[in-house]
A and B are shown apart, each in its own frame.
Chain A
Amino acid sequence: MEITEETIKHVAGLSRLEIDEKEIGKVTEQMSSIINMADQLSEVDTEGVEETVQVVDRDTVFREDKPEHWETREELMKNVPEQANGFIKVPVIINKDEDE
């Protein structure tokens, strides 16, 4: 699979990552070798094998519908860059899909 600089820029944009123009070449090369290593998996013949969506041997694990108040706001909000009146304060972004 060919990884181009365009691919890297696109994926970086989706992930809100800023990559220095000077670094792009290096990142592209590294990403390319990672993807191509993973690509070796496609050489395995999977004809007739069911798709794997889970590697842990669990199935249909349900929880009963019982609410629990953990009262952890204070702790959670320590992870927030800025807050106001209990809300998380962030720069305005109107359309969530606009960059995608």
Chain B
Amino acid sequence: MNFKSTIGFEVHFELKTKSKIFSPSPVSYGAKPNTETNVIDWGMPGVLPYVNKDVYRLGIMVALATHSHILPTTHFDRKNYYYPDSPKAYQITQFFQPLARDGYVEIEVHGKKKRIGIHEMHIEEDAGKNTHGTNGFSYVDLNRQGVPLLEVVSEPEISDPDEGYAYLEKLRKIVQFTGASDVKMEEGSMRVDTNISIRPAGQKELGTKVEMKNLNSFEHVRKSLAYEEKRQAQVLLSGGRVQISTRRFDEATGKTVLERVKEGDADYRYFPEPDIAPDHISDEWIEEIKSSLPRSAEERYNQYVNEFGLKEYDANVLLQTKESSDFFDKTVAAGADPQLAANWMNTQVNGYLNDNRVELADIKLTPENLAAMIKLIKDGTISSKIAKKVFAETIANGTDPKKYVEDQGMVQLSDTSVLEPMVKEVVDNNPQSVEDFKNGKDRAIGFLVGQIMKQTRGKANPKVINQLLNDELQKR
């Protein structure tokens, strides 16, 4: 019997704001436990939560980037549950009127394009963080409680694990390039829950759904979905029935393990949040946000490949993060040759970042300085060998490359009136090399170039010396 899979996703993104969604508590990582939380976050009697405007702005950015319909009127609701990660005993979310509905993401899998619908997306608050001890106690830090989240709920339109993987990658890239979230799964700024059901081919009615929560990489998502497809098929083929349940992916075995069986939906007793006014989102504001939306990764890719002539691989490396793509764009805008800029970004700059375990934002290199250095290479002022020294100085200390090259006397020697006598002298002093050259040993010329480089301490223009040496040797 053939089965068809139906897969859906709920993805949470932490939105990049400085303060929390309903209170001015700072959003910060690594702060001492329970220092960045206040009476509003705790829901103490008499406090009044106020909505952070930027949470809406960032959410609207993602809604626009996913072609979603933004609701003109929204309001917040309380989702009631008792758990130590929320001292309020409820989460403020948008249940009845979400931020946006009916969007889509376009993916390409197995050479075919497909649109995956986005059912809705809403903004809400995160809960605190529990660390479970081994001594029968848990330790709660409420710094994360109230951090803004955007939850994106897909339509169940994904039909295999590869499509699921592609959907997540595309969604991550879209959100990343709006700048609304850091989208780092390892840091929890992107969290993935998925659900899957299977049904015999030809059957219209969907099968029983199994949920998997908090998967920590896209690869685990793919593997756990693939495992579930097989497991559920075996259950059905042996005459059993799939239970409504939550399962966990076990990294060690690559299998999914039953966590708990769910009978009926959890009873969260949602009701409209009485402390927060309804929000009207004006068309003017949406237009304003639309005009501030950064270029998408797709747009940038097309420019890099079609206009700049970069290789697909190079373009993709630049597009791994918005930061690196932004840096490249600024370098090109400052007058650098795009191909050279891409080469330097993808090899030297990335190498430096990896070696020193830092990020672009942490280093002293500016796009302007990188562009200035590339211009010096391009116009022949410095050789690419010297450029490596200039680069090392500029990236470490933020030194202006042009000034550095002048101060250090690094300007490349291209003047033939200076180089010609040197070439003559070197050829005169090395009759053996002349002999070798005549016997067709091309390596002889390399030796002679080396001699001149030594004399000029690497400043001679290799192209010019090669030409001069060739001319001189032909004469002998």
A73 pairs with B35, CB closer than 8 A: yes
* Min C-beta distance of B35 to chain A, whole Å: 5
A-B contacts besides A69-B36, A93-B84, 5 pairs, CB < 8 Å? A62-B50, A62-B279, A76-B42, A92-B136, A100-B81
Is B176 in contact with chain A by the CB < 8 A criterion? no
Is B329 in contact with chain A by the CB < 8 A criterion? no
> Which of B35, B55, B133 has the largest number of chain A CB atoms within 10 A?
B35
Residue in A55, A70, A96 whose CB lies within 8 Å of B25: A70
What residues on A are CB-neighbors of B278 within 8 Å? Answer: 53-54, 59-60
Residue in B24, B260, B262 whose CB lies within 8 Å of A63: B24
Question: How long is the Cα–Cα vector from A69 to B23 in the complex, in angstroms?
Answer: 11
Question: How long is the Cα–Cα vector from A55 to B268 in the complex, in angstroms?
Answer: 23
Is B360 in contact with chain A by the CB < 8 A criterion? no
* Min C-beta distance of A49 to chain B, whole Å: 16
A69 pairs with B140, CB closer than 8 A: no
Question: How long is the Cα–Cα vector from A94 to B138 in the complex, in angstroms?
Answer: 9
A100 pairs with B267, CB closer than 8 A: yes
B270-304 interface with A by 8 A CB criterion: 272, 274, 276-280
Is B80 in contact with chain A by the CB < 8 A criterion? yes
Question: How long is the Cα–Cα vector from A89 to B80 in the complex, in angstroms?
Answer: 22
B137 pairs with A59, CB closer than 8 A: no
What residues on A are CB-neighbors of B132 within 8 Å? Answer: 92, 94
A93 pairs with B83, CB closer than 8 A: yes
What residues on B are CB-neighbors of A61 within 8 Å? Answer: 50-51, 276-277
Question: How long is the Cα–Cα vector from A67 to B146 in the complex, in angstroms?
Answer: 13
What residues on B are CB-neighbors of A62 within 8 Å? Answer: 50-53, 56, 279
**Given that A76-B37, A91-B138, A92-B137 are known contacts, is A53 also in contact with B25, CB under 8 Å in the complex?**
no
Identify 28 residue pairs between A and B in the complex whose beta-carbon atoms are under 8 Å apart, listed by A's number.
A14-B80, A53-B96, A53-B272, A55-B274, A56-B277, A59-B277, A60-B280, A62-B51, A62-B279, A63-B51, A65-B55, A67-B24, A67-B27, A70-B25, A70-B38, A76-B38, A77-B34, A79-B42, A85-B33, A88-B84, A89-B138, A90-B137, A92-B138, A93-B84, A93-B138, A96-B83, A96-B85, A100-B81
A84 pairs with B139, CB closer than 8 A: yes
* Min C-beta distance of B311 to chain A, whole Å: 40
What residues on A are CB-neighbors of B279 within 8 Å? Answer: 59-60, 62
Total contacting residues, chain A, CB less than 8 A: 43
CB-based nearest A residue for B33: A86
Question: How long is the Cα–Cα vector from A4 to B163 in the complex, in angstroms?
Answer: 48
**Given that A15-B82, A84-B139, A94-B132 are known contacts, is A63 also in contact with B37, CB under 8 Å in the complex?**
no
What residues on A are CB-neighbors of B42 within 8 Å? Answer: 76, 79
What residues on A are CB-neighbors of B112 within 8 Å? Answer: none
B140 pairs with A87, CB closer than 8 A: yes
Is B32 in contact with chain A by the CB < 8 A criterion? yes
B81-99 interface with A by 8 A CB criterion: 81-85, 96
CB-based nearest A residue for B18: A67
B44-73 interface with A by 8 A CB criterion: 50-56
Is A97 in contact with chain B by the CB < 8 A criterion? yes
**Given that A54-B272, A65-B18, A68-B24 are known contacts, is A95 also in contact with B140, CB under 8 Å in the complex?**
no
What residues on B are CB-neighbors of A63 within 8 Å? Answer: 24, 50-53
Is B108 in contact with chain A by the CB < 8 A criterion? no
Is B26 in contact with chain A by the CB < 8 A criterion? yes
Question: How long is the Cα–Cα vector from A67 to B38 in the complex, in angstroms?
Answer: 12
Shortest beta-carbon contacts, A-B, top 8: A67-B26, A87-B139, A58-B277, A62-B53, A53-B272, A65-B54, A68-B24, A63-B50
